[in-house]
Amino acid sequence: MRPFTLPQLNYNYSDLEPFIDKETMTIHHQKHHQAYVDNLNAALLQTNEINPDLDSLLQRISEYSPAVRNNGGGHYNHSLFWEILSPNPKLSPEGMLHDDITATFGSLEELKAEMKKAGLAQFGSGWVWLYVKFNGSLAISSTPNQDNPMMDILSMNRGFPILGIDIWEHAYYLNYQNKRADYLDAFWSVLNWFAVEKKYEEALSKVR
């Protein structure tokens, strides 16, 4: 089996300061994400998978063990998270995504407010998602632990994630302590909408 590997970041650990601090980034990437990668590789050795595609695996995650679900989700979710962050972000969407956000939520500010609401309502660890549903429409949801909308263990709220906010405490506690709301507000200052637009286009190509 070809093992999964920890993705390299396109920026330094300190580059997202003051919104996300260097120590949090270092631990989050080198320790937490690396553990998901290592544990996923170990769990897959107990399966018949040869060279699994992570997206395909998550879409039929009900066929696998909790270890594959938790660590496969952890690897996918964090890989997406690093990809959409930037020290020099595009701070607002344009084109089709902008129009879709406006039509669905009313405005970018309303989208942010709805994602913050979902993030604060999620009990315990998890993620908040903006995703493209299988019918092509945009939606917001939260998931516990390392689940995400692609997983077939969800009875609803399924689709392709284009923006995810990690709301596990390890993502923000060193800098924000118990102030999840402040972290959710700060997140938008390092979100690169250019990367989200690319994810949006990729998702639409899968549902059309």
Q: What are the binding residues for Mn(2+)? A: 28, 78, 166, 170
What is the per-residue DSSP string for 7-66? Answer: PPPSS-TTTTTTTS-HHHHHHIIIIIIHHHHHHHHHHHTTSS-SS--HHHHHHTGGGS-H
Distance of CA 158 to the CA centre of its chain: 14
CA atoms within 13 A on the CB side of 65: 14
Give the Cα separation of 3 and 171 in Å (integer): 25
Bond before 18 cis per omega within 30 degrees: yes
Give the Cα separation of 149 and 142 in Å (integer): 9
DSSP category for residue 85: B
Binding-site residue ranges: 28, 78, 166, 170
